[in-house]
Amino acid sequence: MKNKFSNYNIKTKTIKLTVMSLLCTLSIVLSAIDSMIPVMMFMPPGAKLGLSNIVTMYTAGVFGLLPALIISIVKSLFVGTTRGIMAFLMSFFAGVISTIVSGLLLKKRIFGLIGVGIIGAVVHNLIQLMVVILITKTFSLIYYLPMLIIFALATGFLTGIILNISIPMLEKIKVI
Q: What's the pLDDT at 130?
A: 94
Half-sphere exposure of 174 (CA within 13 A, CB side): 0
Q: What is the pLDDT of residue 1?
A: 41
- Give the integer Cα–Cα distance in Å for 103 and 55: 12
In the prediction, which pLDDT does 141 show? 85
Backbone angles phi, psi at 44, to 5 degrees: -65, 150
* pLDDT < 50 positions in the chain: 1, 176
pTM of the model: 0.84
| Distance between CA atoms of residues 125 and 50, nearest Å | 10
Separation between Cα atoms, residue 153 and residue 122, nearest integer Å: 7
Give per-residue pLDDT as tens, 108-150. Answer: 888 889 999 999 999 999 999 999 999 999 888 888 889 889 9
SS3 assignment for the chain: CCCCCCCCCCCCHHHHHHHHHHHHHHHHHHHHHHHHCCCCCCCCCCCCCCCHHHHHHHHHHHCCHHHHHHHHHHHHHHHHHHHCHHHHHHHHHHHHHHHHHHHHHHHHCCCCHHHHHHHHHHHHHHHHHHHHHHHHCCHHHHHHHHHHHHHHHHHHHHHHHHHHHHHHHHHCCCCC
Alpha carbon separation from 107 to 50, 65, 67, 114, 116 (Å, rounded): 21, 9, 14, 15, 11
Tell me what pLDDT residue 8 has.
55
